[in-house]
Amino acid sequence: MKSGLRALFCAAEIYPMAKTGGLGDVAAALPAALREAGTDIRLLMPAYRSALASVTDAAPVQVLGDINGCGPTDVLLGSAPQTGLPVYLIRNQRLFERDGGPYHDARGRPWPDNAERFAVLCRAAAAVATDGPGGWRPELVHVNDWHTALIPSVLGALGAPVASVLTIHNAAYQEPLTADMQERLGIPTGRGELHAATPSFLSAGIAAADRLTTVSPTYAKEIQTPQFGCGLERLLAARAAVLRGILNGIDVAVWNPHTDEHIAQRYSERDLSGKAGCKRALCAEMGLAPDSRKPLLACVSRLTPQKGLDVLLAVLPQLLAADLSFVVLGTGDRALESGFTKLAERHPGCLAVRIAYDEALAHRIVAGADLFVMPSRFEPCGLNQMYSQRYGTIPIVHPVGGLADTVRDAADGDAGGEGTGFFIAGLSPAKLAATASTAVRWYHDTPAWQQLQRNGMKQDFSWKEPARAYADVYRAALRSG
């Protein structure tokens, strides 16, 4: 059912204008799917240099002046690349036009004024939502993670009749909210909800938004527990009636082995023959010894302890000794970057490590690998396990969050021949090694392996159903806002 409602989708990163991880992908694909479902939706993000370069038709539509003493701020309106959706770019040269990434400098250190930067973004977004530059006003704002989580509070302080939805992509990132900043933003400091957890941008959003979502059903349950709630569990449990877990989708036009221009040979569920060519090409590109009998495992990830990459690093020497190859792509924790790089130097031809962000190479790895390893300590949703299944690459996952919701354990007798991957039963080097050993045994059973591949490739990970679910949430927020 088409909603026809007007929604402003606010995020700190939207692919291809800016991307550091899954948020950028979701913020590009979900609004496009909502438009297809009938929502009149526009985007809003900071005017980073990359965004200004990408949105070639951006033009000024609103002058906001000096917000929070952070310098001149104005609003540009243009068309997002690829989707053509209208996008508001919040321009503040001092805050957003910097060398480096959205959240970190060129050396990977967080910008020390991140709280100020994104507080200005939230104030600017509230102004766009209430003033309607160009005559378009949203009925609802959809905000994402801590960077935009203050928008519902600012709208509430302004008395604006705009409903709000907050999506929590990762509860671990919250950003402290000082009393001084609350006062400058006009957010009431005496609200008991804000003190149900350590005051932060995210806790303020959780308390103020009309509806809450997160990115998988399992994670919606997990974040109401001390193990995964990161100090927000009591506040989230108190708002459980308006919290819903909606599994992320993926862009099935971009991630499609039958049409992917990044890979060496295209293939499909019906004809898997091209996958062997992708493996040979990947081995040649990465300096790995080509051997079709030798399974090739892969990991494309932010290199952080959250992703369990310290566990993978600890067990990699044992895995490499078991006659398999491995490729790693990612950036992140400097100690992990160094550890993987040094290990690759000791295992030439068996382990290839690329410390980089490379979207095209990620496609080639997903297509060329046999197994994809995701030993995350927690994973709100995860996208790579969905990408890998779509490409007939079997995931090995620690079954938390969205990993539990999107992978069926082939080694579980209850799977009934419908398995799509393998579960690590407890996160430790020994458990990961045991699961990898099980997966390798399946790899050498060609009929069983091809069945696993086809099972995964048949899964519907499109945004069609999630978009319908978000449209339902939007309507519920409008009724309660």
Query: What pLDDT score does 470 carry?
Result: 98
Nearest alpha-carbon partner for 379 in 309, 473, 297: 309
Query: What pLDDT score does 194 carry?
Result: 47
Query: What pLDDT score does 239 carry?
Result: 96
The answer to whether 117 and 48 have CB atoms below 8 angstroms apart is: no
Q: What is the pLDDT of residues 303-314, one digit of tens each?
A: 999 999 999 999
Query: What pLDDT score does 198 carry?
Result: 76
Q: Which value, to the nearest 10 degrees, does the dihedral of the CA atoms of residues 249, 255, 257, 259 take? A: 120
Q: Which CATH number fits domain 6-249+463-480: 3.90.400.10, 3.30.200.20, 2.60.200.20, 3.40.50.2000?
A: 3.40.50.2000
Q: What is the pLDDT of residues 40-51, one digit of tens each?
A: 999 999 999 999
Rounded percentage of the chain residues whose pLDDT exceeds 90: 88
Nearest alpha-carbon partner for 143 in 82, 238, 210: 210
Q: Does the pLDDT of residue 414 top 70, yes or no?
A: no
Computed from CA positions of residues 421, 344, 319, 424, in that sequence, does the dihedral angle turn out positive or negative? Answer: negative
Distances (CA, A) of 240 to 170, 223, 232: 17, 10, 12
Q: Do domains 6-249+463-480 and 274-457 have the same CATH topology?
A: yes
Query: What pLDDT score does 353 carry?
Result: 98
Q: Bridge-partner residues for 164, per DSSP? A: 141
Query: What pLDDT score does 152 carry?
Result: 96
Per mean pLDDT, which range of 4-8, 88-92, 287-291, 343-347 is the poorest?
Answer: 287-291
| The one-letter amino acid at 89 | L
Query: What pLDDT score does 7 carry?
Result: 98
Q: Where are the domains of the chain?
A: 6-249+463-480, 274-457
Q: What is the pLDDT of residues 168-220, one digit of tens each?
A: 999 999 999 988 888 877 776 555 454 455 789 999 999 999 999 999 999 99
Q: What are φ and ψ of residue 378, in 5° steps?
A: -145, 150
The answer to whether 152 and 162 have CB atoms below 8 angstroms apart is: no
Q: What are φ and ψ of residue 327, in 5° steps?
A: -130, 135
SS3 252: coil
Alpha helices, H only, 272-346: 274-286, 309-321, 334-346
Q: What is the pLDDT of residues 270-291, one digit of tens each?
A: 999 999 999 999 999 999 988 8
Cα 337 to Cα 301: distance, rounded to the nearest angstrom: 11
Query: What pLDDT score does 184 carry?
Result: 79
Q: Does the pLDDT of residue 142 top 60, yes or no?
A: yes
Question: b vs e for 229-253, b when ≥16 Cβ sit within 10 Å of the residue's Cβ?
Answer: bbbbbebbeebeebbbbbbbbbbbe
Degrees to nearest 5, angle at CA 411 with 407 and 416? 80
Query: What pLDDT score does 2 carry?
Result: 46
Query: What pLDDT score does 189 carry?
Result: 57
Question: Class of 274-457 per CATH?
Answer: alpha beta
Q: Mean pLDDT for the chain?
A: 94
Q: What is the pLDDT of residues 222-251, one digit of tens each?
A: 999 999 999 999 999 999 999 999 999 998
Token representation of residue 182: 């609350």
Q: Tell me which H or E stretch contains 87.
A: strand 86-91
Cα 65 to Cα 67: distance, rounded to the nearest angstrom: 6
Q: What is the pLDDT of residues 366-408, one digit of tens each?
A: 999 999 999 999 999 999 999 999 999 999 999 999 999 999 9
Q: Does the pLDDT of residue 351 top 70, yes or no?
A: yes
pTM confidence score: 0.91
pLDDT band at 415 (very low <50, low <70, confident <90, very high): low
Query: What pLDDT score does 106 carry?
Result: 87
Specify burial of residue 262 (Cβ count, 10 A radius: 0-12, 13-18, 19+): middle
Specify burial of residue 356 (Cβ count, 10 A radius: 0-12, 13-18, 19+): exposed
Q: What is the pLDDT of residues 53-90, one digit of tens each?
A: 999 999 999 999 999 899 999 999 999 999 999 999 99
Q: Average pLDDT, stretch 108-132?
A: 95
Cα 254 to Cα 363: distance, rounded to the nearest angstrom: 10
pLDDT band at 1 (very low <50, low <70, confident <90, very high): very low
Complete edge-to-edge strand list for the sheet that includes strand 140-144: 59-66, 72-79, 86-91, 40-46, 6-10, 140-144, 163-168, 211-214, 243-245
